[in-house]
């Protein structure tokens, strides 16, 4: 890491699955000072925490509380972030978006973006799919076709059909934007292993979203225990 001015540090390392983590973060002055002392007179390639092993850290945590491990902090951070983001749904998903993209479409797109923020927090990234450009090209073809249909309908002046076709076009554009935004993010890892499923269940109940959108059959079976939580449940 590099120690920067103003109690900031720049972290750059290979994380899980050899995915690079590279962020600049603010830390407490004491942490800033201690990290600098740990790196004193060490080669750039040397370990910062060379006197302890992951097992030592978890043994210490177990003395504090049964079952507490380093992963618990990561899981908590992911869940509390998702809970905070989803609590902002009404403020962040406008009435216009719900009209243009369809109520459930707008909500599902927002849910995907909230999960993206959690995945990025946990460094759950992936390489873009090999055929990603082809997938986007096919979406563009479908959008172009709908645009042509929209032009023809507009010539006929059928107000109801114009509105319906405009809604379809906006929904397709929104789905394309979401797909592009998520192309290098692995949503599954945090959703399955880090996020408390009750957050999603409560959100779906609050906003009347079909639970099979965020959770497939396999996850529904895995998270049966979470399905009875109330709509106002908070992490």
Q: What is the 3-state secondary structure (H, E, C) of 42-88?
A: CCCCCCCCCCCCHHHHHHHHHHHCCCCCHHHHHHHHHHHHHHHHHCC
C-alpha angle with apex 4: 70 to 43, nearest 5 degrees?
A: 70
Using CA atoms, how far residue 115 sits from 78, 100, 136, in Å, is 9, 22, 21
Question: How do strand 8-14 and strand 20-26 relate by DSSP bridges?
Answer: antiparallel
60 catalytic, yes or no? Answer: no
C-alpha angle with apex 68: 47 to 215, nearest 5 degrees?
A: 100
- The separation between CA 217 and the C-alpha centre of its own chain, rounded to angstroms, equals 21
Using CA atoms, how far residue 29 sits from 2, 38, 47, 75, 180, in Å, is 15, 14, 21, 25, 38
What are the beta bridge partners of residue 3? 9
Tokens (6 digits) for 158: 């059928």
Residue with tokens 């479908």: 142
**Which of 60, 111, 150, 194 is labelled catalytic?**
194
Catalytic residues: 194
């Amino acid at each position: 890491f590099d120690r920067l001015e103003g109690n900031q540090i720049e972290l750059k390392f290979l994380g899980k699955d050899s995915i690079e983590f590279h962020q600049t973060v603010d830390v407490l002055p004491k942490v800033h000072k201690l990290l600098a002392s740990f790196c004193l007179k060490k080669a750039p390639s040397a370990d910062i925490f060379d006197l302890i092993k992951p097992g030592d850290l978890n043994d210490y945590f177990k003395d504090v509380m049964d079952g507490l491990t380093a992963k618990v902090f990561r899981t908590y951070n992911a869940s509390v972030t998702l809970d905070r983001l989803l609590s902002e749904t009404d403020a962040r998903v406008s009435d216009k978006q719900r009209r243009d993209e369809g109520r459930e479409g707008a909500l599902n797109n927002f849910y995907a973006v909230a999960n993206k923020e959690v995945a990025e927090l946990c460094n759950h990234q992936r390489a873009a799919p090999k055929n990603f450009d082809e997938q986007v090209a096919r979406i563009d073809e479908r959008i172009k076709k709908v645009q042509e249909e929209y032009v023809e309908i507009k010539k006929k002046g059928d107000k109801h059909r114009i509105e319906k076709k405009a809604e379809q076009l906006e929904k397709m554009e929104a789905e394309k934007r979401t797909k592009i935004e998520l192309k290098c993010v692995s949503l599954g890892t945090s959703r399955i292993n880090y996020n408390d499923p009750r957050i999603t269940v409560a959100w779906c109940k609050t906003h009347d979203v079909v639970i099979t959108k965020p959770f497939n059959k396999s996850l529904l079976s895995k998270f049966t225990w979470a399905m009875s939580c109330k709509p106002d449940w908070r992490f």
